[in-house]
Amino acid sequence: MKESIQGLLKNALFNNIDEDELNRILSFESCREEVYEKDSLVVQEGDYCDTIGFVLEGTLTIQQYGRSGDALTINIFRHGECFGAPLLFTKKAKYPFTLVTTSRSKVLFIPFKEMRHMLESSKIFNLNYLTFLSTHIFVLKNKIKILAHNDVRSRLMIYLAKEMEHAGSSHFKMRHKKTEISEIIKVARPSVSRELSNMEKDGLIKIEGTHVTILAEDEFLL
């Protein structure tokens, strides 16, 4: 459990909370830890939700299926991130998405009851939760903005603008592989690679391995 505690503290919901404080506000006996192999189903759309899942290891992908059966990647979760938090105060909460692993993963599930107890017991945790919700709303807004554009360049520019904002710099390391980017912006991977090359030729960006430099920042304003 010591390892799980250290992993949990890397989540933004526990910013400025140390191990002693965490043990004070959270009863780990009520939590459960699950290990999933690659390509495992973690959550099915419509499943009842009464816990928040914290990713301790691996990579998980949230998917939404359209009427045609095609899967749209909504978000990718890695160590230090969580899912289900926005549903905490929803009556009869059900997952609005399907969640699968893309690598061997470990998840710690904290019951809603424990989450509410932590909100009541810690002002710091309470503020962290409100900050998380605000960020979540912005991420959804950004996703809608991406999908509102049909051309590949516009979607990529919105994606890169968000990554630049996340890094706090016009020079940053890519957090996602090209395959993941293609899923996020709903564009074929070859089109992503081709358009990134075109943007580099047009002097908008510079790519060096996994690092990107935004050269024309004004063009990337959200």
Query: Per-residue confidence of the chain (222 residues) as pLDDT tens digits?
Result: 667 788 899 899 999 999 999 999 999 999 999 999 999 999 998 999 999 999 999 999 987 665 556 666 667 898 989 999 999 999 889 998 889 999 999 999 999 999 999 999 999 999 999 999 887 777 677 677 777 777 899 889 888 988 988 888 999 999 888 888 887 888 888 999 999 999 999 999 999 999 999 998 888 755
**194 SS3 class:** helix
In CATH terms, the fold of domain 2-140 is Jelly Rolls (2.60.120)
Angle at 174 between CA 172 and CA 180, to 5 degrees: 160
- Under DSSP, the state recorded for 216 is -
CA dihedral over 193, 199, 203, 207, signed as positive or negative: negative
| CATH code for residues 149-220 | 1.10.10.10
Task: Map tokens 């019951």 to a residue.
Answer: 111
Give the bridge partners for 90, in sequence order. Answer: none
Give the bridge partners for 82, in sequence order. Answer: 54
Q: Where are the domains of the chain?
A: 2-140, 149-220
Q: What is the value of pTM for the model shown? A: 0.69
